[in-house]
Amino acid sequence: HQRWMFSGVRLAMDAAAERGATFAEDVVEGLSKPQKSLPPKYFYDAEGSRLFEAICELAEYYPTRTEIALLGGAAAEISQVIPEGAALVEFGSGASVKTRIVLDAAPQVAVYAPIDISREALADAAHAINQDYPALTVAPLAEDFTRALQLPAAVDGHPVVGFFPGSTIGNFTPEEARSFLDGARRLLGQGAAFLVGIDLVKPQAELVAAYDDALGVTAAFNKNLLARMNRELGGDFDLEAFAHRARWNAAQSRVEMHLESRRAQAVKVAGRTFDFAAGETLHTENSYKFTVEGFARLAAEAGWRLEREWASAHPAFAVVLLRA
Ligand code: AVJ
């Protein structure tokens, strides 16, 4: 446990280093599939984290501001379900903007444990929260939250509230979401509360625009994956030779993002060569859209009970409170 302890801004460990060549392995595996794909977690290097913050400011990208407004309106009610001395455990904390809404409304929170794969974003956020909430114990974890993990020792003995905003759970397939929710229930423990943000199904045009914005920030965010493979894995991707595509997959209730090869080409990366046919795509991300009822069923399959919900009508988005 000791290695997770936080003092000042000293992060516990280098998650990427501990995983060894996982990025290279995942790239080789993903580019070898009939439908080429990469796990979306690799978006979030320092540059990708910055681009994601820019996405959150876009006119077309409604989830961030909609959820912030929802949380603001629900803050007093949310505070009532947070026990005295609680530890708030956040999955994929990024810049911890939404956390502040909860912390401001719930001064009874004693420990904040943000988990994020981007070391730089996590260090900056942990430092800023530490400065602005001096009474709070901040115990950051530089980890991929999709991996099995242990909570920081600072959480021990505190009532636990999980926080997973942003509809990041929409990155998972239903099976992955069930398995994540099951793992989170074991991690957070019996009786824990879990606040989860979920983006809701809405007209296709609004969904597609949110993932294919006019300024091209989402395109740059996707192409940063190619740039990252060039930087870190000796790749030679020509960013101009790929086009960003966002599609609504109605059958699966998800927005899909793809990088489409503009021509037939061979690309070298991670010591291998991969062929792309003209029009062939690299599938970079799924963003599932839910109904509250459908999500409640999914959560129930992982042992969680839907206790409360706060939803907005337009754009449709919900924050739900699950109970283990
Ligand atoms: C961080 C997964 C919630 O799916 O809306 C935004 C990521 N990708 N624009 C989402 C994302 C492109 C985002 N999540």
Structure tokens at 198: 């979920």
Cα of 12 to ligand 1 centre, how many Å?
27
Best residue for ligand 1 mutational test, from 145, 164, 248, 287 (most atoms within 8 Å of Cβ): 287
Q: How far is CA 320 from CA 41, 134, 173, 183, 284, in A?
A: 23, 29, 19, 18, 27
Cα of 52 to ligand 1 centre, how many Å?
8
Structure tokens at 239: 């960013």
Q: Sign of the C-alpha dihedral, residues 83, 84, 85, 91?
A: positive
The whole-number pLDDT of residue 149 equals 76
- Alpha helices by DSSP H, 86-203: 97-105, 119-132, 174-188
The whole-number pLDDT of residue 29 equals 97
The whole-number pLDDT of residue 148 equals 62
The whole-number pLDDT of residue 144 equals 87
The whole-number pLDDT of residue 16 equals 45
Cα of 158 to ligand 1 centre, how many Å?
31
Half-sphere exposure for 293 (CA within 13 Å, toward CB): 0
Cα of 264 to ligand 1 centre, how many Å?
29
The whole-number pLDDT of residue 121 equals 87
| ipTM confidence | 0.99
* CA-nearest residue, atom 3 of ligand 1: 168
| Ligand 1 atom index nearest CA of 285 | 8
| Ligand 1 atom index nearest CA of 171 | 2
- Chain CA centroid to CA 48, Å: 12
* pLDDT < 70 stretches in the chain: 1-21, 148
Best residue for ligand 1 mutational test, from 51, 57, 90, 168 (most atoms within 8 Å of Cβ): 168
Helix 46-55 with 119-132: angle, nearest 10 deg:
60
Cα of 248 to ligand 1 centre, how many Å?
14
| Ligand 1 atom index nearest CA of 222 | 12
Residues with CB under 6 A from ligand 1: 55, 63, 166-168, 170-171, 211, 218, 221, 285, 287
Answer yes or no: are the C-beta atoms of 137 and 113 closer than 8 Å: no
Best residue for ligand 1 mutational test, from 41, 50, 52, 258 (most atoms within 8 Å of Cβ): 52
Cα of 218 to ligand 1 centre, how many Å?
9
* CA-nearest residue, atom 13 of ligand 1: 168
Cα of 63 to ligand 1 centre, how many Å?
9
Cα of 318 to ligand 1 centre, how many Å?
15
pLDDT digits over 175-210, tens only?
A: 999 999 999 999 999 999 999 999 999 999 999 999
